């Protein structure tokens, strides 16, 4: 990344209450899992340093309480997000249906420069459970229609968690570098200078 790069990448993790967002990040950052569930109040975040394209960056992953939605948080919380992670519970069809709401409201609040190409990643958590009620083919179809990478994961046993976050970091860095290229290609206003000395203009009344 250039001298104007941002070494700290902001990753926002959204999804319904109980889908396992905090457990997911705890698994990724601290390599651990607990069955003692405690709902997130307000927001929380985890940080982790990773290598992306031979560069060292810091991922700051923000976890917003599922029950809060967007009513209690200011726009500044969403602005500056480099990648948005949408999480649902594979045993909860309602949490999957609500991905549309989370995506649309994020785009309204965050107001990214290029909403159509903003990087999202979809994670179907609790894949270790037998009672899966959101078919993989259904989730794959939705993600394909919305041009989003998709992973079925398990915060409990760690299945696909590392691979998913590698994709998240890669997409965030690529989006940031693309935005930097756009900014660098933007030409400043051109000031036209006259070819010769200024001419005198006479006004006759």
All structural domains of the chain with their residue ranges: 8-185
Residue 178 has pLDDT above 90, yes or no: no
CATH of the domain spanning 8-185: 3.40.50.300
pLDDT tens readout for residues 133-160:
999 999 999 999 999 999 999 999 999 9
Determine the pLDDT at residue 197: 53
Given a contact cutoff of 8 angstroms between Cβ atoms, the answer to whether 30 and 100 are in contact is no
Given a contact cutoff of 8 angstroms between Cβ atoms, the answer to whether 181 and 190 are in contact is no
Given a contact cutoff of 8 angstroms between Cβ atoms, the answer to whether 58 and 93 are in contact is no
* Mean pLDDT of all residues belonging to the chain: 84
Residue 77 has pLDDT above 90, yes or no: no
Enter the pTM of the model.
0.82
Residue with tokens 């926002």: 12
pLDDT tens readout for residues 92-141:
999 999 999 999 999 999 999 999 999 999 999 999 999 999 999 999 99
Determine the pLDDT at residue 36: 62
Given a contact cutoff of 8 angstroms between Cβ atoms, the answer to whether 91 and 132 are in contact is yes
Mean pLDDT (whole number) for 10-21: 93
Given a contact cutoff of 8 angstroms between Cβ atoms, the answer to whether 43 and 63 are in contact is yes
């Amino acid at each position: 990344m250039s001298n104007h790069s941002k070494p700290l990448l902001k990753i926002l993790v959204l999804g319904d209450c109980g889908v396992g967002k905090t457990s997911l990040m705890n698994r990724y950052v601290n390599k651990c899992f607990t069955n003692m569930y405690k709902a997130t109040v307000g927001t929380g975040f985890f940080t982790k340093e990773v290598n992306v394209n031979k560069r060292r960056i810091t991922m700051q992953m923000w976890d917003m309480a599922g029950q809060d939605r967007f009513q209690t948080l200011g726009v500044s919380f969403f602005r500056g997000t480099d990648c948005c992670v949408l999480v649902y519970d594979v045993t909860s069809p309602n949490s999957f249906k609500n991905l549309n709401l989370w995506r649309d409201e994020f785009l309204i609040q965050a107001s990214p420069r290029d909403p159509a190409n903003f990087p999202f990643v979809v994670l179907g958590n609790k894949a270790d459970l037998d009672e899966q009620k959101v078919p993989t083919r259904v989730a794959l179809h939705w993600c394909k229609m919305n041009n989003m990478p998709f992973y079925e994961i398990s915060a409990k046993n760690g299945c696909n968690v590392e691979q998913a976050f590698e994709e998240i970091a890669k997409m965030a860095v690529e989006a940031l570098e693309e935005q930097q290229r756009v900014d660098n290609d933007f030409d400043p206003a051109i000031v036209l200078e006259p070819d010769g000395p200024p001419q005198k203009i006479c006004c006759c009344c």
